[in-house]
Amino acid sequence: MKSFGTLLNGSGTSSSSASTKSPAAGLTQTEMSRGIKEALSKGVNVAIDQLGRRNGFLDDAAVRIPLPSGLDQVASVLRQFHQQELADKFVATMNHAAEQAVPQAAEVFAGAIRHMTLQDVRGILQGPDDAATEYFRRTSGAELAARLRPIIARATNKAGVTLAYKKMIAEAGPMARMFVGDSNLDAYITKKTLDGLFLKIAAEEKSIRTQPAARTTDLLKKVFSSVR
């Protein structure tokens, strides 16, 4: 798979790269655009690196994917019959599926960054601490879900524990459906995967905006010190 930097190379924002001064403390439009792109790239890289590694979701309480609402009641029944390990293994399977899918988000994020307009850049720079993350949600959320869902579906289908769990719920009939409704596990895992990605990107974005130590290049220092 191409690196995130490679995916970004070769294209700038969808606007002129002229050195016109921007409203942000004397920054040129080029500096502003490059600075925002660099910050977004850093946030995406950090998120994918953290979550795409082994147990990236499972070992992080902030993003760990729990049993869907309702299935926790089924898990309670399993505990009564000393079969809690089935639920635990199912949770692990969901989280491993998420970590396998995360790297595939890089291309979508890179495309969103490449197609940013100057208006987008200004809005992000002068917006709240999660402005960039919300830009990604707005412009790429549906595409990310479409890209990740089949990967997650393949991962869950390959996992015998998940298949067994789905079969158990299906065969349990009306009682199980009373607990879980018609929930689609692949859709649920996809949503939780994206929630985790956006959470990590937002945390890195806030760090860059509020903590000078997180601005690891001269460009980041110049751009983000201009709006604080």
Give the pLDDT score at 17. 40
Give the pLDDT score at 151. 87
- Please compute the mean of the pLDDT values over residues 179-197 and round it to a whole number: 80
Q: What is the pLDDT of the chain when averaged over all its residues? A: 80
Q: What is the pLDDT of residues 36-47, one digit of tens each?
A: 999 999 999 999
Q: In degrees, to the nearest 5, what angle opens at C-alpha 217 toward C-alphas 11 and 221?
A: 105
- The confidence band for 186, taking pLDDT boundaries of 50, 70 and 90, is confident
217-226 CB burial, b ≥16 within 10 A, e <16: eebbebbbeb
Q: Does residue 141 contact residue 190 with C-beta atoms inside 8 Å? A: no
- Sheet strands (E) in 87-210: none
Give the pLDDT score at 156. 78
Global pTM reads 0.80
Q: How far from chain centre, in Å, is Cα 99?
A: 10
Q: Does residue 21 contact residue 222 with C-beta atoms inside 8 Å? A: no
The Cα–Cα gap between 70 and 177 comes to: 9
The Cα–Cα gap between 139 and 89 comes to: 35
The Cα–Cα gap between 145 and 187 comes to: 9
In this structure, of 19-28, 149-158, 192-201, the range with the lowest mean pLDDT score is: 19-28
